[in-house]
Amino acid sequence: MLRQILFVLLIHALLRAVVAKNATPADNSRNLIFTTEDALPANELSRLTEADAETRFIGDLVIGQRQQEETLFWRSLEIDNPTNDVYGQEIALAVTNGVIHYISVINDRGSYAVACDRPYALGSSRSSFNIRVTPNSHSYVTVVVGAH
């Protein structure tokens, strides 16, 4: 009797592992290459970069400092997590000309993704950050990159 129970539990665990593996989004990394087409228009500048510290979600990421002679690039991202587990993804950034000195990852209203920077994220034309999304949710973030 004990063997039958253990066998059923083992089969159940294996089935859960197979289903979880198939339900997990396959793409654990995403590459964003910013070109002049992604440059931030002047009329959008304040809406995307002036988020007040009091109104930001604690999982938002802002590193570096803005500079006068910079070019700002932006992209909106949607990250879907249909699983019952926290989903993590690495987002790689690259600018075609310049050095990244500022990165901002801000959640849109109602989104609760958590972004974390990597060591030495600034000072190169390439960078990356990690983002985690709560189970069974859609997250929308706006990425702003400053380069000079």
pLDDT score for 67: 85
H/E stretch holding 122: none
Give the residue-averaged pLDDT of 93-107: 92
Q: Sorting pLDDT into bands at 50, 70 and 90, what band is 104?
A: very high
Tell me what percent of the residues of the chain surpass a pLDDT of 70.
76
| Range in 20-24, 83-87, 112-116 with the lowest mean pLDDT | 20-24
Nearest to 129 by CA among 61, 35, 50, 59: 61
pLDDT score for 68: 83
Give the residue-averaged pLDDT of 47-67: 74
- pTM score of the predicted model: 0.74
pLDDT score for 22: 45
Q: Are 99 and 128 in contact (CB under 8 A)?
A: no
Is 18's pLDDT higher than 80?
no
The full set of domain ranges for the chain reads 27-147
Secondary structure class of 59 (helix, strand, coil): coil
Is 20's pLDDT higher than 60?
no
pLDDT score for 23: 45
Instruction: Provide the H-helix boundaries in the chain.
Output: 2-23, 45-49
Q: Are 91 and 75 in contact (CB under 8 A)?
A: no
Tell me what percent of the residues of the chain surpass a pLDDT of 90.
42
